[in-house]
Amino acid sequence: MKRLFILAVGALLALPLTAQNNLTLYNMKTVPQRFYVNPARQSDAKVFVGVPGISSAYFDFGLTTFKIRDILNAIETDNQGNNVFVVEEFAKGFKKNNVLSLNNSLDVLSFGLKLKKNYVFMNYSVHSNIRLSFPGDLFQFLAEGNGGRNLNRKFDFGFGFDALQYGELGFGYNREIIADKLTVGARVKFVKGFNVINTAKSELNFTTDKQTFDYLVQSDIEINTANSFQNFGGSDPFNNLDSEPVTAGDVLGAFFGGGNRGIGLDIGMEFTPTKAFTLSASITNLGRINWNTNTFNWKSQNPGATYTYTGLEIEDAFNFNQNELENALERIGDTITSRFDLNENNESFKTGMFAQFYLGGNYNVAKHHNAGILFHGTFYNKTIDPAITLSWNSRLTRILGISASYSVANNSFVNAGAGISLNFGSVQTYFVSDNLIGLFAHKSVNTVNLRTGMNLTFGRKGKKKGRK
């Protein structure tokens, strides 16, 4: 029961989260880090060096369902003047499938160099990604209960929780194949996985029998975990949560030693059929990580088995003590483990890296000004989380570059973003957000996004005329 409790608490702590992904950055030619979203897209500097540790810090979160305002609106005052949380009101905003996510990354080292028609890029970065999918049926069950019209209805209580932390050493290259027309690029990433929780299967169905009112639970579960910092020794990893904090030395040591490795790939192209139009496309984070060190797995050996549950075995429901309740819950956990035959082992497994795609078009209004449209999607749990962005992008002076964007993402139409880059000599600072509203009006939105950093850039005068 301890590990089930920890998993449940972890899921609840993740509830305020989801994400967009570099929608404004994609069209900011003044910022070298746009290479991350399309390896065919260059900056306007012939050479850039990321300031170690602060060249790029990225963070975003959001969700595809409720807003913080919805939580506040569900709090009402009863006849006695007490604040009461009305679950029925809160549950109205949930869909059948709901997704929450959190992403952040930090560049440790980065470097780029243009050599005639060629451009090379190198980086070492640390990434953390979280995805939580949860069913709307759970909140409808909490709001309406399992009686009345919900008798004999199969509720879907299957959660999906995936957390991935890894380091990448990337080497990128692009080349202008047709002068002023076509550029193609790719980035190969040597990946070291640090930590992972992978929900390969999470089917949990709940039905109340309309005759006996017994609860029928049906499940098929497969959860995999791995860790590059401590040896589980074949035991339950959730019993090892009291270890010492991970240090920077631990991260470097874990990257150069041990298993849990993989290879990732980004590919992209940029095509300018006329001076007025530019088309571009990319797919990022293709690849897999092979987790073979300090692994732990739970897997249903009897998928589809049904467990009939009649209720808590407590003699006096109104006067039970804490120990009696804990013992009853412990018996339920042991029974579920036995009936569903959850096998525990230490097998290796593979995970993906949250692949994404970008498809863009730009109308080049003038030498340093263009309007863009961008389609984006993130692949997760056999579904695509889509977004669309409209933007205006300008380099106003050698010092100042700006972008303004509007996005529809995470089922939200309130996403106004902006980007700014400032070059004082060779020193560049930049700030990019896909949703500025989320930074100041957090009650009304379900997404907050931010990337900022500092680079040293050189050779920004050599800019060809007529190019975007």
pTM, rounded to two decimals? 0.77
Q: What is the fold, at CATH topology level, of the domain defined by 2-305+341-458? A: Porin (2.40.160)
Residue 105, burial from CB neighbour count under 10 angstroms (0-12, 13-18, 19+): middle
Of 349-358, 371-380, 382-391, 457-466, the poorest mean pLDDT is in 457-466
pLDDT tier, 69 (very low <50, low <70, confident <90, very high otherwise): low
Question: What is the CB neighbour count within 10 angstroms for residue 263?
Answer: 15
Phi, psi of 3, rounded to the nearest 5 degrees: -70, -35
List the structure tokens of 179: 């002068």
Q: Sorting pLDDT into bands at 50, 70 and 90, what band is 240?
A: low
Lowest pLDDT segment from 53-57, 250-254, 334-338, 344-348: 250-254
pLDDT of residue 449: 81
- How far is residue 422's CA from residue 154's CA, in Å, rounded to a whole number? 57
- For the stretch 193-216, pLDDT in tens is 999 999 888 887 878 877 777 778
pLDDT tens by residue, 74-129: 677 767 777 776 666 666 667 777 778 888 999 999 999 999 899 999 999 999 98
Output the pLDDT for position 429: 96
Amino acid at 200: A
Token representation of residue 12: 């609840």
Mean pLDDT comparison of 14-28, 222-236, 241-255, highest-scoring range: 222-236
Residue 314 has pLDDT above 60, yes or no: no
Distance in angstroms (rounded) separating the CA atoms of residues 383 and 399:
42
Res. 1: pLDDT tops 50: no
Of residues 337 and 155, more confidence is placed in 155
What is the Cα–Cα distance from 294 to 291, expressed in whole angstroms?
Answer: 8
**Whole-number average pLDDT of the chain:** 79
